[in-house]
Every structure is written in structure tokens, then in C-alpha cells.
């Protein structure tokens, strides 16, 4: 039996320190995930901690080692920390995967369940080139900066661009049949681009697109998200239909430009909500104007009023009010942020585009999910 020496580190104190270390991919304490294999403390205050990695090639091994070392070194009485890494057995990984899923069956989309409190927004556009992906990543980054837990599914399989725009350079890690998504700026991200070599094109047809989206929603460990954004491909093709089937409670956010041609196509894309019985949360008008560099007067490069026309048309089509959530001016910093992986809402939040995007994010992030479809756990009582 080890003697209780005054000033000597205790196993309880070390374990308490380890509870502050989160797995960088799962974002939960390593003690809670069963990743702490052993703790040994000698009389000189040297603490040896052995930590289980989920897989042998874990890309975060160095991060875990550093975080464990720093946390344990702060414990009173610790003179040195030695961290050894081991790898979970197949059985341990299965137990971890089952625990993360909450004991539910595989292939279940958590956001489609009646008890889900995650707000799901499918960001759609009628045509390409209107800045839908730029809007998606900036809304995600702004919501995360406001303290929300946010995830993004890059559902534009053919034209995936979200990882670059968000500055995600990590790769997913697989634990059993569960995928741990990388993150950037506090946003978890999954994209087909993370699984293809280089800039190789994706040449798939409908059934494969549906399967990929299903995997992104069901096999990825998203955790307890407040908001999930899906960056859809332009138009009303297979992915839009699959989203309606897999996540019927997803609300559609329509992105357009002021241009008449773009507005007409955007209205057509939003009208799919009538057939899929989804709600349209609102319209965002991107590229609404450009400040003149000489007089600051707004120049309507792509015309004006497109967002309003789309909202009015969709309101008539679906029979419910569809608001214009905001207008985003043309700003070179928005483009530069996308190229550099630094969303403008973070790099220059008070710029015209940054401020407009943050305002839209606050409107969407602050919305409460309704009780429709949720089990309230109430049993009616017979009065007689």
C-alpha cells in the first residue's frame, strides 16, 4: 500500500486532471471515453500515464500526448510526466462506438429522430456561382464563434469546396464503422474531398450520391450539435431529394444574387419544398452591391431586388411567409477569406460582408426548435 505523503500527487488528483483533457476528434474527456489505461506514481513525483489511442495511426497522437502532459504537470506534487501510448483492441473500439451512439443501431441518422434538438439547414441555390458555399462556411464559423456547436456537411459531391474555405486540412479518423470528422474554427466538417486523392473528380450517379450522404449523416460522429448546415449542390437533383428523405425536418435556406435570371432559378430550387413538405427558413441575397472605391456609393453590379423577388415568389408558392434574412455586399475580403481558409466573419467581422453574415447567423442560430414531432413524455390521465 502506498503511503499518503503530504504534498505527494494522488491518483485521484491525476485522474481529475485527465478529465479536463478532451479527445481532439471526439471532443469528450479521455477519462469518459475509457482512453486512460493506467496511472502510476512513484515516490519522487514522477507520474506515468498510459493512454489508449482509438487507432494505431491516430493523427492526433502528438496533440493527445502534449495535452495529457500539460494537464498532469499542473497537479500538485508532480515532478515529471511520462506518457505512453497504446492502442485500443477491437472489442474496446466496438464498446466506444456503441457508447458514442448511445446504444442505438448503426445507420440511424440522429438528426431525423423526433427527440433531436439540432437545427438542420439545407443551404440551396438554383444555379452555381452565387456564393452558396461562401455563405455556408461563414454562417457556420459565425455561429461557432457565438458559442454554438456546429457541423457542416459538404453535400456538393461534385463541386466540394467547404474544407478549403474553412481551412480544414485534417483527415477523418475511422473507429469501427464510425467516422470522426476533422474541425476548424470550432466547426466539424465532412466532405467527399477528404476521401479522394488530390483534386480528382467524383464521377458518381444517383444511388452512390444517396449512399455518400447517408454515410455523412449516419456514420459520422457529430456529437450533440446545436446546428448542422448542409451545403447542397445547385439545382433540384438527387442530393436535394435525398436530404428530404434522410432528414425530413431540415429547413431550406435559399441563396441567390439580385440578378433576375439567378432569382428565377433560385425560386425554382426553393419550390421543391412544396413537394418534399419542408419549411423554407428564408432567403439570403448575396452579391447585393459593390461599394464604389471612390465615392462609397453602392453599385448594383448584378441588379437589385432579387432576394425580395425570390422571397415573394416562394411566399405565394408555399402559402407561408418566407423572409429575406439579409443582403451581403460584394467584398473582396469575402473571396480572399475563402481562398485562405479564414472566413471573413472571423478575419474581418466588422466589414460590410462580415457584419451582414454575422447578422444572418444570429437570426438562424438564435431560433428555437419547435415541439412538432417531438415526444413530450406526457401520458393523458383519465378523469373518470
Indicate the annotated binding residues for ATP. 126-133
Annotated binding residues, written as ranges, equal 126-133
Which of 21, 84, 1 has the alpha carbon at shortest distance from 47?
84
Rounded to an integer, what distance in angstroms lies between the CA atom of residue 229 and that of residue 123?
7
From residue 100, give the alpha-carbon distance in Å to each of 23, 33, 117, 209.
Answer: 13, 9, 17, 26
Rounded to an integer, what distance in angstroms lies between the CA atom of residue 219 and that of residue 107?
6
Give the number of other Cβ atoms within 10 Å of residue 316's Cβ: 10
Q: What is the DSSP letter of 47?
A: E
Rounded to an integer, what distance in angstroms lies between the CA atom of residue 89 and that of residue 252?
42
Rounded to an integer, what distance in angstroms lies between the CA atom of residue 365 and that of residue 373?
20
Rounded to an integer, what distance in angstroms lies between the CA atom of residue 276 and that of residue 232?
15
Burial class (CB in 10 A: 0-12, 13-18, 19+), 104: exposed
Q: What is the DSSP letter of 196?
A: S
Q: What is the DSSP string of 106-166?
A: TT--GGGSTT---EEEEEE-SSTTS-HHHHHHHHHHHHHHTT--EEEEE--STT--HHHHH
Give the number of other Cβ atoms within 10 Å of residue 117's Cβ: 11
Rounded to an integer, what distance in angstroms lies between the CA atom of residue 119 and that of residue 111?
8
Give the number of other Cβ atoms within 10 Å of residue 332's Cβ: 11
Q: ∠ CA 33-34-36 to the nearest 5 degrees?
A: 120
Amino acid at each position: 500500500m502506498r503511503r499518503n505523503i503530504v504534498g505527494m500527487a494522488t491518483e485521484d488528483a491525476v485522474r481529475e486532471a485527465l478529465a479536463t483533457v478532451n479527445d481532439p476528434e471526439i471532443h469528450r474527456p479521455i477519462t469518459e471515453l475509457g482512453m486512460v489505461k493506467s496511472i502510476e506514481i512513484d515516490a519522487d513525483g514522477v507520474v506515468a500515464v498510459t493512454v489508449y489511442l482509438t487507432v494505431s495511426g491516430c493523427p492526433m497522437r502528438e496533440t493527445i500526448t502534449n495535452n495529457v502532459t500539460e494537464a498532469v504537470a499542473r497537479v500538485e506534487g508532480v515532478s515529471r510526466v511520462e506518457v505512453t501510448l497504446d492502442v485500443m483492441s477491437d472489442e474496446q473500439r466496438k464498446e466506444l462506438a456503441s457508447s458514442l451512439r448511445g446504444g442505438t443501431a448503426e445507420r440511424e441518422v440522429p438528426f431525423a429522430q423526433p427527440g433531436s434538438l439540432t437545427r438542420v439547414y439545407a443551404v440551396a441555390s438554383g444555379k452555381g456561382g452565387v456564393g452558396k458555399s461562401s455563405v455556408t462556411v461563414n454562417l457556420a464559423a459565425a455561429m461557432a464563434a457565438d458559442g454554438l456547436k456546429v457541423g457542416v456537411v459538404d453535400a456538393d459531391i461534385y463541386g466540394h469546396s467547404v474544407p478549403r474555405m474553412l481551412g480544414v486540412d485534417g483527415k477523418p479518423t475511422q473507429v469501427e464503422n464510425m467516422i470522426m470528422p476533422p474541425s476548424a474554427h470550432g466547426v466539424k466538417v465532412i466532405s467527399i474531398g477528404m476521401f479522394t486523392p488530390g483534386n480528382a473528380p467524383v464521377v458518381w450517379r444517383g444511388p452512390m450520391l444517396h449512399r455518400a450522404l447517408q454515410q455523412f449523416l449516419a456514420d459520422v460522429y457529430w456529437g450533440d450539435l446545436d446546428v448542422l448546415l448542409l451545403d447542397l449542390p445547385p439545382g433540384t437533383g438527387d442530393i436535394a431529394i435525398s436530404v428530404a428523405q434522410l432528414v425530413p425536418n431540415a429547413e431550406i435556406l435559399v441563396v441567390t444574387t439580385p440578378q433576375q435570371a439567378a432569382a428565377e432559378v433560385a425560386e425554382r430550387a426553393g419550390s421543391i419544398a412544396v413537394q418534399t413538405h419542408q419549411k423554407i427558413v428564408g432567403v439570403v441575397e448575396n452579391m447585393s452591391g459593390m461599394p464604389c472605391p471612390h465615392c462609397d456609393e453602392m453599385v448594383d453590379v448584378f441588379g437589385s431586388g432579387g432576394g425580395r423577388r425570390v422571397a415573394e415568389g416562394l411566399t405565394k408558392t408555399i402559402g407561408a411567409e418566407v423572409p429575406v434574412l439579409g443582403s451581403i455586399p460584394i467584398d473582396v475580403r469575402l473571396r480572399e477569406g475563402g481562398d485562405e481558409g479564414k472566413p471573413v466573419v472571423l478575419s474581418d467581422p466588422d466589414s460590410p460582408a462580415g457584419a451582414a453574415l454575422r447578422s444572418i447567423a444570429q437570426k438562424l442560430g438564435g431560433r428555437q426548435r419547435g415541439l412538432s414531432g417531438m415526444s413530450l413524455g406526457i401520458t393523458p390521465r383519465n378523469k373518470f
